[in-house]
């Protein structure tokens, strides 16, 4: 059985179909983890959700910011933006079944590969969080999204504050820090103050900030974290990081990583996306 990680698809179903063909993905033999942002910006989010849902237990996705945005729009918590491409999905006859499936997907996944740990999230983790912390906090958020108060959560999800984690946080403030770190994080300070305005590559860190994965003393540094979200960062493969968003929807590539027996064994497979959107 092979484990494949795939970066941000963002509605590019044609590229996803070609990539699955290229890796000869077999639902009876292999397992697929999509690292968030299945939908939006690309031309066919509806087909992407249907394709991944049809794979059943052979595929999982961690939720990304665009996936949560879809749920927020569907619940009336947010209006569609000018660059959103969600209309066909929201008008689909199987909309409710697809949305119900989506909101039951995890915020983080963990797998043991040999003697190493692989943590899968959409964006990043704060320097104060260990592997156990990430999984526990992700579970808190998953319980809300799967529970009766999920609509109320989406109404209050948006916002950049609090920008820093504290163990004493409760209620919506606590959930907002968790969701922002797991689905939006790129840069933070050494003590975990998040910054959300800068979307360029790692060299563009604002003064006093750094890429989350370079924070000194990061408690998850002994874990390989696989993520997407950061197309201007692109493909990065190092012992503690696998970055998979290679900008498919912006005219780049859709990337899959075939994982080996340990987190250090990995093979990159890519297909070029046929359409290019303007970044923004």
In 10 A of CB 101, how many CB atoms?
A: 15
Q: What are phi and psi of 273, to 5 degrees?
A: -80, 145
Beta bridge partners of 272: 253
In 10 A of CB 124, how many CB atoms?
A: 30
**Percentage above 90 pLDDT, the chain:** 97
Rg (CA), the chain: 17
User: Is 39:72 a contact under the CB 8 Å cutoff?
Assistant: no
Per-residue pLDDT of the chain (280 residues; tens, 9 = 90+): 899 999 999 999 999 999 999 999 999 999 999 999 999 999 999 999 999 999 999 999 999 999 999 999 999 999 999 999 999 999 999 999 999 999 999 999 999 999 999 999 999 999 999 999 999 999 999 999 999 999 999 999 999 999 999 999 999 999 999 999 999 999 999 999 999 999 999 999 999 999 999 999 999 999 999 999 999 999 999 999 999 999 999 999 999 999 999 999 999 999 998 865 544 4
Tell me, what's the pLDDT at 276?
A: 54
Angle, alpha carbons 88-92-98 (nearest 5°): 105
Q: Which of 14, 6, 11, 110 is nearest to 59 (CA)?
A: 6
CATH numbers and ranges of domains, the chain: 3-272 (3.60.21.10)
Given its phi and psi angles, is residue 53 left (phi above 0), alpha (psi -120 to 50 degrees) or beta?
Answer: alpha
pTM value is: 0.96
């Amino acid at each position: 059985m092979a484990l494949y990680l795939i970066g941000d698809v963002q509605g590019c179903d044609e590229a996803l179909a070609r990539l699955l063909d290229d890796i000869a993905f077999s639902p009876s033999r292999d397992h697929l983890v999509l690292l968030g942002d299945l939908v939006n910006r690309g031309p066919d989010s509806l087909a992407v959700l249907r394709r991944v849902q049809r794979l059943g237990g052979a595929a999982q996705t961690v939720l990304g910011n665009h996936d949560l945005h879809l749920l927020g729009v569907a619940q009336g918590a947010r209006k569609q933006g000018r660059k959103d491409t969600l209309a066909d999905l929201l008008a689909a006859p199987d909309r409710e079944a697809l949305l119900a499936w989506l909101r039951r997907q995890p915020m983080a996944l963990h797998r043991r590969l040999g003697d190493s740990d692989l943590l899968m999230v959409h964006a990043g983790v704060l320097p104060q969080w260990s592997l156990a912390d990430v999984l526990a906090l992700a579970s808190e958020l998953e319980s809300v999204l799967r529970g009766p108060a999920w609509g109320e959560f989406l109404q209050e999800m948006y916002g950049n504050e609090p920008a820093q984690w504290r163990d004493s946080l409760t209620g919506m403030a606590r959930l907002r820090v968790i969701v922002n770190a797991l689905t939006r994080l790129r840069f933070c300070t050494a003590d975990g103050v998040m910054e959300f305005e800068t979307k360029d590559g790692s060299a563009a860190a604002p003064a006093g900030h750094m890429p989350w994965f370079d924070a000194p003393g990061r408690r998850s540094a002994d874990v390989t974290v696989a993520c997407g979200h950061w197309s201007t960062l692109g493909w990065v493969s190092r012992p503690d990081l696998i970055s998979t968003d290679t900008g498919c929807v912006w005219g780049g590539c859709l990337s899959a990583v075939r994982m080996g027996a340990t987190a250090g064994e990995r093979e990159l497979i890519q297909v070029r996306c046929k359409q290019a959107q303007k970044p923004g």
